Amino acid sequence: MRNLLAIERFCLYGHIVAMAFGLAGLLWVVPHPGILDYLPAGQTLFQWSMAGGGVGYILLGTLAVALYAYRTLGLGTLLTFAIAAIGISVTSELLGTSTGFPFGHYSYLNGLGYKVAGLVPFTIPLSWFYLGLASFLLARSGLAAGGGPGRYGWARSLAAVLLGSVLLTSWDFVLDPAMSQTALPFWYWHQPGAFFGMPYQNFAGWLGTGIVFMGVALGLWKTFKFSPELDQAQLTLPLVVYLSNFGFALVMSLAAGFYVPIALGILTGALPAVLCWRATVQESLANVAQPAQVVEPVNSAKVVLK
């Protein structure tokens, strides 16, 4: 288990570093290619980055979250969520890129790896999985904090599905406008929409897809009686994954001058995610501070039988 933890941390740090290098490439090198002349092997490194950088950071994020889930939640919990998230998201993406439903009419360009059916890069459903699981765990644990014995009942769990989907959609809220309009975009819209080039339908599609696969995963968890409970330390990785990916999107939108999506994303995504984590922290502190119940031993000499 210690080896798994070491690999998990390596993948997490690599995921974050890869995103940082991606930002530098997209925002610094692409607009100013002359910089490469001053870097050792600059052209070669840039070509490698553009060819596999997007694939690399998504694969590292997927591995980090998958190892974390296996270690803390168990294999069954991991597999049921992964099957629901990857299966349903790739179905939605294939529908979206071929029919326009549920996101609108768009197409993926190169840079994110092999395309399933020639339409959807295989890395896209992986990103739905690892960001989806991080969002759902934050929402589920935050809403369950302080709820007593029935805190993982159906009502709170369904509320977690809705909140988790909102957190996931809020990340796309900030990411999509900038990523589809950079100097080196990874996808494009056939008809730009009213919200900073994005159709409003896209966000409805994201919210709906998230609700469906998180709801299916929840149903599988209930069916197989998977009910993981995460403490403060165990919920830190989902928070780090969510905020680091949100930060990537935030910097991209800042560079593009898209301030409204950033403000809305913070209000509906980053802030609720932190509050969910804080709620779990406060519950852990309350449990530590609560004095243990003292049970007085029975003095057999004072027991009188009548």
Whose CA is closest to 93, among 212, 184, 3?
212
The arithmetic mean of pLDDT across residues 107-131, rounded, is 95
Answer for the pair 246, 262: CB distance below 8 angstroms, yes or no. no
User: Cα separation of 107 and 97, whole Å?
Assistant: 6
pLDDT in tens, 134-146: 999 999 999 998 7
The arithmetic mean of pLDDT across residues 216-241, rounded, is 94
- Please report the pLDDT score of residue 62 as a whole number: 98
Q: What is the SS3 assignment for 106?
A: strand
- Please report the pLDDT score of residue 186 as a whole number: 85
Q: Report the chain's mean pLDDT, rounded to a whole number.
A: 87
Q: Quick one: tokens of 160?
A: 């977690």
User: Cα separation of 104 and 203, whole Å?
Assistant: 10
- Please report the pLDDT score of residue 21 as a whole number: 85
- Using 50, 70 and 90 to split pLDDT, how confident is the model at 180? confident
- Using 50, 70 and 90 to split pLDDT, how confident is the model at 285? low
- Please report the pLDDT score of residue 175 as a whole number: 94
- Using 50, 70 and 90 to split pLDDT, how confident is the model at 67? very high
